[in-house]
């Protein structure tokens, strides 16, 4: 479209006036707008990065938690077995041979005191 | 999302005044014009990866965003006022803000613009505030080029009557037959 849009002569002055009075941002407003746009863009970028970091952090914490949890479970399961044996062996290993206190063995073990 | 890079910065530098100019002819305050301009570029920045220079000029693309943003803005305001469902709020019935002298428009011009219906005012804003061409306006609005030119001529004629130097009767012969600006 040309400057005067092929308008009739009597309308060109109105068109010119509309162009003249069209509000344009001042230099200060342009700077302000630019700063706001940059700030907004940065916020969005950080927001995305933050979300990404949060999800990564959550994943890492979950893995660490599971690992610690599983390790803890294993540790508890194996707890008390200072000899490194299994819980079954700890609980159900043969006795010390002390036997019934009312019928002392002929050769008492040093542990039977 | 593709990084906007320096191209978007150039688009901003080259077209911010057009976006602002469009809003300035549609809303009532510099603050709102500024807010909506910023939102337009914010949306544009986010969608920049999808911008196809083969399909549209940057100015047309940005002003399409601006126009949609303004419709959203009016719809949300309209919904608050009328409690109508959004889809029932016709664009022609959306609230329109009075232009104030603080926006740089003279009171006389503001009064002349206020006589236009919403569609006509939008076309005027896109042409003289957004500095778009007739074909670009037709592309954005979905109107035919002939219709855009017709609306522009009729709008200017109507405004001229209110600008003090008009000596014609409103709605001259033949203009009334094309009164419906919506294609």
Per-residue pLDDT tens, chain B, 183 aa: give them.
444 445 888 899 899 999 999 998 888 788 888 899 999 999 998 899 999 888 889 999 999 999 999 989 888 876 443 333 333 344 444 445 555 555 667 888 888 988 999 899 999 999 999 999 999 999 999 999 999 999 999 999 999 998 875 444 444 444 444 433 333
Chain B touched by A42 (CB under 8 Å)? no
Tell me the per-residue pLDDT of B124-174, one tens digit each, with 9 for 90 and over.
999 999 999 999 999 999 999 999 999 999 999 999 998 875 444 444 444
Chain A touched by B30 (CB under 8 Å)? yes
Instruction: Search chain B and give the residue with CA nearest A39.
Output: B42
| Collapsed DSSP state (helix, strand, coil) of residue A67 | helix
Shortest Cα–Cα distance, A9 to chain B (Å): 11
**Stronger pLDDT, A13 or B1, i.e. the higher one:** A13
Which DSSP helix (H) or strand (E) runs through B159? helix B145-162
Instruction: Search chain A and give the residue with CA nearest B24.
Output: A23
> In this complex, which of A14, A21, A25 lies closest to B20 when CB atoms are compared?
A25
Chain A touched by B16 (CB under 8 Å)? yes
pTM, rounded to two decimals: 0.62
> In this complex, which of A14, A30, A32 lies closest to B163 when CB atoms are compared?
A14
> In this complex, which of B38, B104, B160 lies closest to A21 when CB atoms are compared?
B104
pLDDT at B110: 85
Cβ B42–A13 below 8 Å, yes or no?
no
Helices assigned H by DSSP within B26-106: 30-47, 58-82
Residues from chain A contacting residue B17 (CB–CB below 8 Å): 24-25, 30
Tell me the per-residue pLDDT of A60-82, one tens digit each, with 9 for 90 and over.
455 555 555 555 554 545 544 44
Q: Are B39 and B86 in contact (CB under 8 A)?
A: no
CA nearest neighbour of B13 among B77, B59, B47: B59
Instruction: Search chain B and give the residue with CA nearest A12.
Output: B156
Shortest Cα–Cα distance, B24 to chain A (Å): 6
pLDDT at A53: 45
Tell me the per-residue pLDDT of A49-64, one tens digit each, with 9 for 90 and over.
444 444 444 444 555 5
> In this complex, which of B21, B149, B159 lies closest to A14 when CB atoms are compared?
B159
Q: Dihedral of the CA atoms B156, B162, B168, B173 (nearest 10)?
A: 60
pLDDT at B182: 34
What pLDDT band is residue A20 in, cutting at 50, 70 and 90?
confident
pLDDT at B166: 47
Cβ B157–A40 below 8 Å, yes or no?
no
Which residues does A110 contact at the CB level (< 8 Å), separation at least 6? Answer: none
Cβ B159–A23 below 8 Å, yes or no?
no
Other residues' Cβ atoms within 10 Å of the Cβ of residue B97: 15
Which DSSP helix (H) or strand (E) runs through A15? helix A9-21
């Amino acid at each position: 479209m040309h400057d005067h849009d092929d308008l009739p002569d009597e309308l060109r002055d109105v068109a010119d006036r509309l162009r003249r009075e069209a509000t344009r941002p001042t230099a200060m407003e342009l700077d302000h707008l630019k700063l706001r746009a940059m700030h907004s863009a940065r916020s969005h970028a950080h927001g995305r990065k933050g979300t990404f970091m949060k999800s990564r952090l959550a994943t890492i914490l979950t893995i660490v938690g599971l690992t610690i949890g599983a390790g803890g479970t294993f540790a508890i399961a194996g707890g008390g077995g200072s000899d490194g044996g299994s819980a079954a062996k700890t609980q159900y290993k043969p006795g010390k041979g002390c036997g019934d206190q009312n019928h002392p063995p002929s050769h008492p073990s040093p542990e039977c005191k | 999302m593709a990084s906007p890079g320096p191209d978007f910065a150039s688009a901003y530098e080259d077209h911010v005044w057009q976006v602002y100019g469009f809003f300035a002819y549609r809303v009532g305050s510099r603050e709102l014009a500024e807010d909506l301009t910023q939102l337009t570029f914010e949306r544009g920045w986010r969608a920049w990866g999808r911008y196809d220079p083969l399909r549209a000029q940057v100015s047309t693309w940005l002003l399409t965003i601006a126009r949609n943003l303004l419709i959203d803005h009016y719809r949300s305001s309209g919904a608050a006022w009328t409690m109508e469902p959004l889809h029932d709020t016709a664009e022609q019935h959306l609230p329109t803000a009075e232009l104030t002298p603080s926006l740089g428009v003279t009171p006389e011009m503001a009064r002349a613009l206020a006589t236009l219906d919403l569609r006509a005012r939008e076309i005027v804003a896109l042409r003289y505030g957004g500095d778009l061409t007739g074909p670009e306006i037709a592309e954005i609005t979905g109107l035919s080029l002939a219709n855009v030119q017709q609306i522009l001529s009729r709008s200017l004629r109507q405004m001229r009557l209110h600008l003090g130097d008009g000596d014609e009767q409103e709605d001259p012969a033949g203009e009334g037959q094309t009164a419906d600006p919506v294609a």
